[in-house]
Amino acid sequence: MKALMKKLVAAALVVAFAFFAWRSLPSPELAQAPGAPQATVRGSGVVQDVDLQGGMVTIRHGPLPALNMMAMTMSYAVKDRSQIGDLKVDQRVEFQVLQNGGEYVITDIR
């Protein structure tokens, strides 16, 4: 009887973890739903790479629940390239990102 209980508890834990992991994934269906409202979200992170030519900045950021993002390293397009000209790798930054469907654009970074 005790062994069965242990198995049940273990199974319940696996299911709970799988559900949590699934919930933590970004959901493109939701983000790209037609007519989805634009959202502007503030975040902070550490610069990993700056592509001035391409107008992109790669940031290792913490969780952004409002964007359905866990902590990750990702590249963002920036609205105003002049804002990334002075950024250095390993610099801590605060940024504002606009979500428009599945697109993310940094509208402010400092």
The residue ranges that bind Cu ion (CB under 5 A) are: 69, 72, 74
Minimal distance, residue 90 CB to Cu ion, in Å? 18
Structure tokens belonging to residue 110 = 């400092």
Minimum distance from residue 69 beta carbon to Cu ion (Å): 4
Q: Which is nearer to Cu ion, 47 or 69 (CB)?
A: 69
16/39 with CB nearer Cu ion: 39
- Angle (CA) 79-83-84 rounded to 5° is 100
Note whether 72 and 25 are within 8 A (CB). no
Closer CB to Cu ion, 69 or 83, in the complex: 69
Q: How far is the CB of 33 from Cu ion (least distance, A)?
A: 19
Which two structure tokens, joined as six digits, stand for 5?
């209980």
Which residue number, 13 or 70, has a Cβ lying nearer to Cu ion?
A: 70
Shortest distance, CB of residue 70 to Cu ion, whole angstroms? 8
Q: Are 108 and 96 in contact (CB under 8 A)?
A: yes
Name the residue among 84, 75, 74 with its Cα closest to residue 108: 84
